Amino acid sequence: MQVPHWLQAQPDSLAAWLSSGGRRRSVLWYPLLNLIWLFWMVAAPWAFGPARPWVLAATLASLPVFLALYHRAWLGPRRQLGRITGAIAVLGLAMVLVNTSWSYVIYAACFIPFAAPRRRAWVWTALLLAALYATAVWGANFPQSTAVVATVMTAVLALMNFLTRSNQERDAELRLTQDEVRRLATAAERERIARDLHDLLGHTWSLVAVKAELARKLLSRDTAAAARELAEIEQVARQSLAQVRDAVSGMRAPVLAAELASARLLLEAAHIALHPQGFESPPPLAPAAEAALALGLREAVTNVQRHARASQVRVQLESSGTHAELGVHDDGRGTGSRRGNGLAGMEERLKAVGGSLLLESNGGRGTRLQVRVPLATGGEAGLA
């Protein structure tokens, strides 16, 4: 079902930023779920005695104003979030005086961590909490205990969003680091390919050119000598072909090793220990199968870092009969039998190369992902 235009988040909105880490596949369910706090805004006038008509009228009049600000805070440009949060805070403090509910203030406190640089956001949060306490005690005549509960509850919810912001920024830094590692690895590989091709083919084809020219000159006066030169050209060409095959095989070999290095970097940054086995002498793999295996390792490690809450990950590469097997086993909380888009895409890639995927997960006892791909045949190894 297509999302209505007015519910679509702008690219630089808070909802889009929080969704960029992949934790929430939809930018809508979380803001909609948070509207549950409005229940207390409507129920408060009855909770502390008979609801007076003017209190109900003020409360109902405030709701569309708040919803418009709330919509803009989540889906509008993030550069406007500071002003919108300030407006919600003013509205919330005013409503504390009217119907004793501080729900709007909670929303403002939860937006502040995303509305300003970290140090300034802490100052704004402290000022808002002080204003809430003062308004509740001296303006709305809250009992001291109720004012403390309101202030502490608001502070805890704001702190949770400060932690969410920190985690989101850390994930963004990790993604940038991984991208930089891959970029540098790609650049280094391109330089190595250029150097190897120059070393291998430059001398060989210079020799072929010289011998071909010599054979052409000898054809008119010494056919036997020309035939010997042509035979040597054939031999040099075959040797060059073998060298190119070896070089290309070496170029493709680091694919899985580079992915393992990237996985180590990602997990170490998340304080998760990685224990690899079997990568010292990897089994022979066709390029497509190795690429599928490397992408499987990337998906598995990314899922561990984001969802597993693990402390250790064991990655084992081994050959069994006609297949190579890569196992990734973590000691996290487990994910059940759920398969997201990443695992579905991995299965499609594996099927394309004749491989398979097995996911075993028990709540609280970790998750084990096993990826199998065919070993390279003699022809594939030669062409690698």
Condensed to tens digits (0 to 9), the pLDDT of residues 170-197 reads 877 777 776 677 677 677 767 766 776 6
Q: Please, which pLDDT band fits residue 260 given cuts at 50, 70 and 90?
A: confident
Token pair of 238, please? 């075959």
Q: Span 67-82, mean pLDDT?
A: 89
What is the average pLDDT value for the chain, to the nearest integer? 80
**Crossing angle of helices 38-47/103-115, nearest 10°?**
150
Q: Determine the pLDDT at residue 280.
A: 81
Backbone dihedral region for residue 50 (phi beyond 0: left; psi -120 to 50: alpha; all else: beta): beta
pLDDT at 21 over 60: no
Token pair of 300, please? 């598995």
Q: Determine the pLDDT at residue 75.
A: 86
Instruction: Out of 26-30, 128-132, 182-186, pick the least confident.
Output: 26-30
Cα 312 off chain centre by: 19
pLDDT at 343 over 60: yes
pLDDT at 203 over 80: no
pLDDT at 25 over 60: no
Q: Span 330-335, mean pLDDT?
A: 78
Q: Determine the pLDDT at residue 24.
A: 42
Q: Span 270-279, mean pLDDT?
A: 85
Q: Determine the pLDDT at residue 79.
A: 86
More confident residue, 159 or 167: 159
Q: Determine the pLDDT at residue 84.
A: 94
Q: Span 121-146, mean pLDDT?
A: 91
Q: Determine the pLDDT at residue 286.
A: 82
Q: Please, which pLDDT band fits residue 2 given cuts at 50, 70 and 90?
A: low
Q: Determine the pLDDT at residue 240.
A: 76
Q: How many CA atoms lie within 13 A of 366 on its CB side?
A: 13
pLDDT at 82 over 50: yes
pLDDT at 62 over 60: yes
Dist CA 309 CA 151 (whole Å):
31
What are the residues whose beta carbons fall under 8 Å from the beta carbon of 266, sequence distance 6 or more?
174, 177, 178, 301, 302, 305
Q: Do strands 356-361 and 323-330 pair parallel, antiparallel, or not at all (unpaired)?
A: unpaired
Q: Span 104-111, mean pLDDT?
A: 93
Instruction: Out of 66-70, 120-124, 313-317, 373-377, pick the least confident.
Output: 373-377
pTM of the model: 0.53
